[in-house]
A and B are shown apart, each in its own frame.
Chain A
């Protein structure tokens, strides 16, 4: 079966987000991604990484985030790893659009965007055998 694997390691700095744009563009050279897939996947990765930078690493620029993309069959999976304190982004994913509209304030929409773009979200907090938190985002490509 046709399989593609690519990985990227970035520092926990907002300026590193450019690399995510390039990473997804690069991925689209090997995988049949439509234009809007490139946009949405870049967005999901940005939102996930910014969450880690802010909530897990508290903007410490010496920390790193590893992203591994695997394409197999019609599934594109991103495994995003960090070794900060565990933070399950699914814990705030229940926020509904109506609530957001009621509480107009900055922030909180990142995880909502991820959940609307990505088909399956898994989270494995770090433990003794795996010293990294793993956020696994799976997108089914039609």
Chain B
């Protein structure tokens, strides 16, 4: 059976890396919300979201990141998006979210950003 949405996570030093698969819509967004809640509860605020296998995102999916970004940045963390599909990128651009977040080519690039303490601030 096809899975509509899936999240996998791994840890590199103090950085949490999430890989998202499938469709992130109003139906599946609560799954990601739960994962991020658990991560923040562990005081882990350096987060990479790998979107290589994400086919679709709607405003409900974007809302999950916006819900947590303030708390994350207030705790010297950030969310970095990597390997974003062109269609998903176009949704970020339609709403101006590409100006709020770093969108990077790979996990490695994002890790280097975190190691150099290259964090965005709350607006």
Contacts and interface: CB of A to CB of B under 8 A. Distances in A.
Interface in A5-33: 14-15, 17-18, 21
Q: For this complex, into which size category does the number of interface residues on chain A fall?
A: 20 to 34
B123 interface: yes
B59 A47 contact: yes
B87 A39 contact: yes
Nearest to A105: B66
Interface in B45-67: 56, 58-60, 62-64, 66-67
- Interface of B, secondary structure class, is helix
B56 A110 contact: no
Q: For this complex, into which size category does the number of interface residues on chain B fall?
A: 20 to 34
Nearest to B58: A46
B25 A46 contact: yes
Interface of A: 14-15, 17-18, 21, 35-36, 39, 42-43, 46-47, 50, 97-98, 100-102, 104-107, 109-110, 112-113, 116-117
